Structure 1
């Protein structure tokens, strides 16, 4: 088998052929699926190995002391031979991985052959195709957690043990110094514990990433912004805890910790930074300095780690194995998200080149994963990933539209009256002939009253049942926050209402299935999702000018989404989903409408340190659509540009302001004189016509479901690092 090793004397890194380890009692033999490079600890070892002998001695004074003691005891000659022998040998790298159990040793009953497990240990969870792992350093991966995410288990345990040492309390404020891999995880764990976090790092990209993952504010250690944020969040008292997750030889972190801590605050050292404590500063505040020892209790105890002797839970609640299991559980439940930390996934055969790129700075990364050949075997999750596109089942065929008087006005109710509803939908409906705005429902009384006053609703309320139980209401608009869309849509369908729900229809596969279960139960399939771009007059005209095609097409869609303001509810990914989950359906629907089919596969990759995505969709006729969803572009550049190429023709859309078609003849639209028309009015016209006449809904429900399933599949594709097949169920 292959294993990454390093010669500490020469600094040589190589992928070495080594024997397969035996499967000893009280442990399991694991075939690696993914292993994680610790860009802090491992790169420090790699850098040290490349130093001169003097440099090595300066970097490890503890080892120099041992050498001097050996000289005094054994003499110079014997010590020299011992040291050179140790230096001139291969040492392993790695300590955090996920893989599949290939063989089970005696005394193991927690896992079986074929189970997916997360493994820890710098002697056991190595960058190698096969590892023997003792049972206290190995835990089963929860169902649904992707192998590449489970590979973070060990570093997650390190961060978790550090947080436990800080003893955070609800409502406290913490300072995290160093926003590398461990620091980013500490930020998320503290946020999940009800602690407000201020982050410190000289790298603005890492600071921005920490803010997206939950930090209240982040900045450079020398900036006044950090001190201002601490003062504001703590009323000038200082933070309750400081977590030192930085490395290097600077004493700045411990000095900053003293300056920004409150009286009798707690300072926890997780990383390996210089610790020349300024005595006066720490004495005057009586700061409590604590150390976090790796993954937790049991670390460095051979009876625990090698012989499998557990500590009683009544005496030691959180051992390193229980920390590992806890962190995996948090990831599986969505309380911690490691996907934004993945900067690069490299094939294991490219390990040496990857380390070199990291060392040279050619690859700047928070976290890097090695992907092993054949890693899908036995996992069930990573093998040929598939996302189901649920079938739409209607009892007794297509449901008829609810009965209504032919000439009566269409009576509409709105659930939600936020910015999008009041700026993009209601202005097209208020005082419209043949439409009555019946009821507006919001969670707060004042917002309902404002909407009633501004748009002329007959009634304002906070009671949803007032709409669902009103037989005079023909259609319900669901325009609330993303997390409530599926449930409100389900309730409205069961109440027999025609429903217009803003995107997204659902944030999870279970939510989508719940909506379709309501369709099947009620027979009511009168549903429209607010995918308005296919209704944009400029794009429809360009499509008409482009004409039918005979061969496969290539479509490119650039979405310059831009950054969100700090505090935006769109950033609450734990409840409201990712930005692409909330908005990506627009672009997938537009691509599918232009290509005249639903996608059959999805592949996605993410950029390092931000929310930029590249999504590639494949279609039944061989057509492809590439969607670049970026948040790091210039705000002065157009938000949406699209190119469709097929049969010697090109369709170009420039941000819904101008369109052109290039072929045997060239057509260029006139530039729109006023604001961009992205199709909201035409979409509402089509929806109201369907409600008024009882005719077909503007977009078939099967297409809405396919677009939603494809949007959800993007997350699966990111997690698995492979294309996801969209399989229709029957």
Structure 2
């Protein structure tokens, strides 16, 4: 299928051929009829992409702060790879469309194939021929409403949520600053609510359009006409509400709002304009400043948007989806007219030229629609049949010739895969990147372009059934690791799965069951720290020990950003379940044994943990996993003491070993690049697949580490140590 994309580093716009998305449970696959260009939000994104690196930094200081923090935690090279990987990737455009349901996922019963729906979301309602849309981000289109008008649904919801935040009442007077697409819709919604509206915009054509659509008067923000109209309509008291629907860096909108508001008026920010509030003006009138968050309640909540968990109507009357349905109803009943806002309709194949015309100013428009081939009335293609999962029988794999490359497939191509794994594999001698599989088409296309995969697809079954693929990398979200690993093992592939291997004992048992059923134990989990060159040398310098050891491992994990998918404990497990295996594996490798018991305690109110691991020879490892530490403190520090010797690791930058004769070894006195072992780990995995030799970490150890990680939360619940039984 085709999709409009942009490279944020170069600014390049393209209509790209990408794999079609699959139809997942909890949503529908929609073939687009019309999608709407948001001439404000999208053009701002397009303009930012065309800036220099310094310009991009100035426009997004929030992202610059994240980069600085990443440098402090991960070092310059790793941060550079991560940032450049994000910048030099195709990103999607679009967030408002109308289309026809082509396929219905499991659990969906409110629409069927062939129904017309309006869709929302900057990850799900893209300028693309096909989109997978979760339950709460689509709504059926009312009978009789034209698809081109229904494509305004998302943008209309933004305007509607802004008006709701202003709490307009019959007979009030409002000022709308900025008469672009959102401003024109706000004018109509306020007029439909019985509010008289004054509009302000420097463009005379937009002022004239707003007056035709119901505004009492409009004019340039700096003109006397706007102030005169407000004085006449309000008896000199000032407007009851001001809606800021303007963009740009000028502070004029907020100053105008203060000047023309009545005492204790309401100011609602809908757009993205400068908000340097003049303190005296806002204080003296005690103005109520409010923000409108996009489409309404549910926005940015992954449980609502992705998992389909609705908010009870008794507590949240107007959610994101209900706003979408409400706006479509207003258009269908004639209370809002979007046809006068349509400045241009372009064929989807002409998307690049259309964006360029808007950016250069050659195309003057309030709203632009893309019209897609095969839209309703022109014979939509039938829905593709669901692909059944084949029964797989494991066959002995042929002996590999020394000159045959190891063929790898990646399932998932997120940040970790593209910044920490694929750069070490792309171009490696004896390795062929055969296929990349993702649930979103664009991420697969990005990975194919950047790393040279032979194929990009959303069809996992085809890859697992391909005898030419030797090994599968599972680099998806945590909740899918165990099932994908199980399926790949049953298909006879060697498997590299990022941590965690499993989130529950049942999932771990399922992986072990797949090994027993297939006889395929070619499994590696991404426990990379045991492969870090600095730590390996330190262990060698420490040497053999005869007595039990004490190990202390402090992990300053830090706080997660709001909205991080790591916070979705209901589906992705706890944060420790996700990454704690890293640290348990490192301790077990240093102590040359697997733990026999786990004891865990945690203070209330945060995710900090104290975990004590006991080993067969009496050694103990104390793991302090903290999320409340300072951001500038090193992430990982480790001390190992035994037989009168001590080993210290300082965040994979410096290591030292001391013995009883006062001799010492210091790995580095100068900070250098943090190498946490990914490259060596991948080299060992590829070598094992090529030669058929033992996997880098024994399966017994992988299972024991995973079982110990899961036992931490069992121990927290019971308040007692958890004994670890010998695993199969």
* TM-score, scaled relative to structure 1: 0.52
Aligned counterparts of 2:102 and 2:77: Cα–Cα separation in 1: 46
Aligned counterparts of 1:75 and 1:177: Cα–Cα separation in 2: 45
1:183 partnered with 2:183: yes
Give the deviation of 1:75 after TM superposition.
Answer: 1.6
Aligned counterparts of 1:143 and 1:75: Cα–Cα separation in 2: 57
Give the deviation of 1:271 after TM superposition.
Answer: 0.2
Give the deviation of 1:2 after TM superposition.
Answer: 0.1
Aligned counterparts of 1:76 and 1:233: Cα–Cα separation in 2: 59
Aligned counterparts of 2:109 and 2:81: Cα–Cα separation in 1: 45
| Structure 2 residue matching 1:227: 3-state secondary structure | helix
Contact preservation (8 Å) 1:31, 1:102: yes
Aligned counterparts of 2:274 and 2:378: Cα–Cα separation in 1: 45
State the partner residue of 2:27.
Answer: 27
| Structure 2 residue matching 1:6: 3-state secondary structure | strand
Give the deviation of 1:378 after TM superposition.
Answer: 7.9
Aligned counterparts of 2:182 and 2:375: Cα–Cα separation in 1: 26
Aligned counterparts of 2:279 and 2:301: Cα–Cα separation in 1: 33
| Structure 2 residue matching 1:346: 3-state secondary structure | strand
State the partner residue of 2:352.
Answer: 352
State the partner residue of 1:68.
Answer: 68
State the partner residue of 2:84.
Answer: 84
1:293 partnered with 2:293: yes
Aligned counterparts of 2:171 and 2:134: Cα–Cα separation in 1: 39
| Structure 1 residue matching 2:321: 3-state secondary structure | helix
State the partner residue of 1:237.
Answer: 237
1:665-717 Cα deviation digits (max 9, x unpaired): xxxxxxxxxxxxxxxxxxxxxxxxxxxxxxxxxxxxxxxxxxxxxxxxxxxxx
1:324-345 Cα deviation digits (max 9, x unpaired): 0000000000000000000000
Aligned counterparts of 1:379 and 1:304: Cα–Cα separation in 2: 34
1:122 partnered with 2:131: no
Please show how residues 66-465 of structure 1 align to structure 2 within 5 Å.
66-377=66-377
| Closer/same/farther in 2, CA of residues 313 and 287 from structure 1, 3 Å limit | same
Give the deviation of 1:372 after TM superposition.
Answer: 0.1
Give the deviation of 1:204 after TM superposition.
Answer: 0.3
Aligned counterparts of 1:191 and 1:309: Cα–Cα separation in 2: 33
Aligned counterparts of 2:45 and 2:66: Cα–Cα separation in 1: 19
Cα root mean square deviation, aligned: 1.0
Give the deviation of 1:77 after TM superposition.
Answer: 1.7
| Structure 1 residue matching 2:77: 3-state secondary structure | helix
Contact preservation (8 Å) 1:100, 1:378: no
| Structure 2 residue matching 1:329: 3-state secondary structure | helix
Give the deviation of 1:376 after TM superposition.
Answer: 2.1
Give the deviation of 1:219 after TM superposition.
Answer: 0.2
State the partner residue of 2:17.
Answer: 17
Give the deviation of 1:81 after TM superposition.
Answer: 1.1
Aligned counterparts of 1:274 and 1:66: Cα–Cα separation in 2: 22
Aligned counterparts of 2:150 and 2:378: Cα–Cα separation in 1: 15
1:594-644 Cα deviation digits (max 9, x unpaired): xxxxxxxxxxxxxxxxxxxxxxxxxxxxxxxxxxxxxxxxxxxxxxxxxxx
Runs of 4+ in structure 1 over 3 Å off: 377-380
Aligned counterparts of 2:226 and 2:75: Cα–Cα separation in 1: 53
Give the deviation of 1:270 after TM superposition.
Answer: 0.2
1:108-151 Cα deviation digits (max 9, x unpaired): 11110000000000000000000000010000000110000000
Aligned counterparts of 1:327 and 1:280: Cα–Cα separation in 2: 38
Give the deviation of 1:78 after TM superposition.
Answer: 1.4
Aligned counterparts of 2:65 and 2:247: Cα–Cα separation in 1: 22
Give the deviation of 1:377 after TM superposition.
Answer: 4.5
State the partner residue of 1:501.
Answer: none
| Structure 2 residue matching 1:113: 3-state secondary structure | coil
Contact preservation (8 Å) 1:117, 1:139: yes
Contact preservation (8 Å) 1:114, 1:378: no
Aligned counterparts of 2:376 and 2:69: Cα–Cα separation in 1: 50
1:547-601 Cα deviation digits (max 9, x unpaired): xxxxxxxxxxxxxxxxxxxxxxxxxxxxxxxxxxxxxxxxxxxxxxxxxxxxxxx
Contact preservation (8 Å) 1:116, 1:379: no
State the partner residue of 1:608.
Answer: none
Aligned counterparts of 1:379 and 1:64: Cα–Cα separation in 2: 48
Give the deviation of 1:379 after TM superposition.
Answer: 8.7
Aligned counterparts of 2:376 and 2:240: Cα–Cα separation in 1: 45
Contact preservation (8 Å) 1:100, 1:379: no
State the partner residue of 1:599.
Answer: none
Give the deviation of 1:68 after TM superposition.
Answer: 1.2
Aligned counterparts of 1:379 and 1:209: Cα–Cα separation in 2: 36
Aligned counterparts of 1:206 and 1:259: Cα–Cα separation in 2: 23
Aligned counterparts of 1:29 and 1:12: Cα–Cα separation in 2: 28
State the partner residue of 2:37.
Answer: 37
Give the deviation of 1:79 after TM superposition.
Answer: 1.1
Aligned counterparts of 1:262 and 1:69: Cα–Cα separation in 2: 44
* TM-score, scaled relative to structure 2: 0.52
Aligned counterparts of 2:270 and 2:62: Cα–Cα separation in 1: 19
| Structure 1 residue matching 2:240: 3-state secondary structure | strand
State the partner residue of 1:531.
Answer: none
| Structure 2 residue matching 1:316: 3-state secondary structure | coil
State the partner residue of 1:6.
Answer: 6
Give the deviation of 1:35 after TM superposition.
Answer: 0.1
- Which runs of no fewer than 5 residues in structure 2 stay unpaired? 381-728
Contact preservation (8 Å) 1:176, 1:183: yes
Give the deviation of 1:66 after TM superposition.
Answer: 1.1
| Structure 2 residue matching 1:86: 3-state secondary structure | helix
1:342-367 Cα deviation digits (max 9, x unpaired): 00000000000000000000001000
Please show how residues 39-58 of structure 1 align to structure 2 within 5 Å.
39-58=39-58
| Structure 1 residue matching 2:250: 3-state secondary structure | coil
Contact preservation (8 Å) 1:99, 1:118: yes
| Structure 1 residue matching 2:21: 3-state secondary structure | coil
- Which runs of no fewer than 5 residues in structure 1 stay unpaired? 381-730
Aligned counterparts of 1:279 and 1:171: Cα–Cα separation in 2: 29
Give the deviation of 1:274 after TM superposition.
Answer: 0.4
Aligned counterparts of 1:146 and 1:187: Cα–Cα separation in 2: 22
